């Protein structure tokens, strides 16, 4: 029974780590897209209508949301790691 619980903790740790890694890749893509979009707007003399009204572009909102998600996942990972045993870490290769 303990092995099943341990395996479940390990699975959750691995899945949470994978989700965080995907979110970090998404954040890098959003930051790159924002830079390209701002460059294009500047070169074409246009402004972002949402940013003009709200002070934040849709990209700014997506970036902030993704950063919050990464922070939440990092907190969850820290909590999960506090509950792992030495055996869990050995099996996970950490």
The string of pLDDT tens digits covering residues 30-78 is 999 999 999 999 999 999 888 999 999 999 999 999 999 999 999 999 9
> What integer is the mean pLDDT of 8-22?
90
Burial class (CB in 10 A: 0-12, 13-18, 19+), 36: exposed
Q: What is the pTM assigned to this prediction?
A: 0.79
The domain spans of the chain are 25-44+54-94
The structure tokens listed for 51 are 């940013």
CA dist 19 and 69 (Å) reads 10
């Amino acid at each position: 029974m303990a092995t099943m619980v341990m395996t479940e903790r390990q699975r959750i740790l691995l899945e949470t780590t994978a989700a965080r890694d995907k979110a970090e890749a998404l954040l890098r893509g959003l930051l790159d897209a924002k830079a390209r979009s701002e460059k294009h707007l500047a070169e074409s003399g246009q402004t972002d209508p949402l940013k003009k009204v709200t002070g934040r572009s849709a990209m700014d909102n997506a970036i902030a949301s993704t950063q919050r998600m990464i922070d939440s996942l990092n907190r969850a990972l820290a909590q999960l790691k506090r509950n792992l045993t030495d055996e869990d870490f050995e099996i996970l290769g950490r």
